[in-house]
Structure 1
């Protein structure tokens, strides 16, 4: 395993790809996932949930250790979603089409990180596009956070706010579709170009409606009882909302050189439970709207896309909705010699396991799961 230090900060760890541990020399504790449980105690049983089961949007298997109701431990097997993507040897632009589809729901985060890594490798400066890229990522963050909160409402049986959030998620998707030609940003980004009509981005109704839903959830004792002191995890190797909900001000928007955000508010909580993760994501929706509205992009015109040639190695790290996402590329004569991606799912799955076995019972399972916003599809990709 090689170490890739990229803007290293003490006490921070991103995760692992096939060849690289990102920030691995900065931290001693790396959570290893066991293949099997230690010997179970008398009265404890194994309980399998998944890989195809209600409430799970992706195929993943959980082997739970339980005496009947409390969850003592969990082993997570995500390999049902494993995919080999033939990409080595592709041209930069052809590879981009495949990177876009690693996780369609987080397409902007993956493609922009990949493009920034390409630009780093080939010493291309497209700083004039960075504000537009930030707007894309923040739109994606708004939609993703709404989706996570929708899942928490669904788990609680709160049908009315769940359906309202589904409607808002669709409204954000339609804003993205009108502005970029595709609800998942497919084909919107290329080296040196962005295809988008930023004058179509109007978020005042999204902000107003989400504020009503958010205030209503905060006033519901039933909802709060389900997520407060549920799934507590405080670990310095956390990333994304899971880190910020435990008081760690880890945010690649603040400390990564890949995109210059400038001033914005880092939202933190201190309890590290499902409520804290819910609250961080909720408040980040409002902050993302503020970030988007701080830019005047109505009359921006981007250059035409073009094929890129050259050789070099580069990397980029950005803050996806789930946490740090990292891309490394090695380019030879305009073709990919190597590509590595580190997804926040690597850490979030391990943190979920820690949170799940911290005095939780079976009815807590879905609240803990939804609060992390995990996408297995980003973890189980093997670039070949």
Structure 2
């Protein structure tokens, strides 16, 4: 590939109304605000969420540089860095040119109420990379606003690795930009929910959380051992679904070591190739699991298995990582009364397919929405470091990443990814 000039760079650009991406020369980014950083891209990801824009489902009406997953090296910083300001994120005094970084898919300042509370996806400055207002990372360079609150330094992960362990590859580290933290989020918001927490801590509702002062739980307020069993379903086994399933199994295994409970997980997808990928992943990590603990199924099989496992009660929680109405309907069928649906799929305009009576009659709780990636990164990084058998390889049976290609192959990769003929693809903009 020709060297980048001082004024332009190569990038993947989308054109409305739909299904039109081109590799073009676009203007180089520059510092526009004192809190900006310019990052030289090492690798950028093609994500399922990119397909919403690609298909014309996001009400984007202007051309834009694609991509919201990237890992790279800082090459320029605004004047807001190295200025001692109490209360500002640490990176404003520690980040320097040459540092290797990964970025969440949205900007977060690290200073507003939402950021301080850990809800970084709802930062008052939140902007998504890969839209007309903020060019994305499927390019050679990218501008990162509010970089001191947004970026994550990759040397932070070094301390999580065993002594003598080789540093993690950029292809693995890129997964921290979106899909692995989103998978962690889907699992964590289920495991932290009061309807699941009562099974974990062995205390029945309503005494498993806050109760008014002076109210004392009955002496018998402990769950019977046979009630301390959790059944989960993961609906959708694309890259985020695999991340959610692996994260859930890692956390459930940790809980099982501390609490006397059993768990079962069923991973569901109608696509045979995705089920095969998930099965290969399970084979790689399943030293602690057997077919009666975790299994992969298509939709009819899943309904039968959940009914068999639970005596027709249903799952305690369902992780929905697709983002369409058929997935929500399936999640509702699989979840038990007083259960939880943790949905991280990016839903679009159609109204949800459930009536008020349906959700009332089952006492179903719903957690919807965008992952606070920046807050999830430390947890996701620890799982990434531990599960390199899934997240470290490229193109192997159990690898989450299928291939790494140059930007020149972007048009073909978008088409293949859209049709489900390829899994996770990364772009190397210097090939």
Decide: shared fold, TM above 0.5.
Answer: no
Higher relative contact order (CA 8 A, sep 6+): 1
TM-score of the pair, normalised by structure 1? 0.27
Which structure is higher in helix share? 1
- Please identify the structure whose Cα radius of gyration is greater: 2
Which structure is higher in strand share? 2
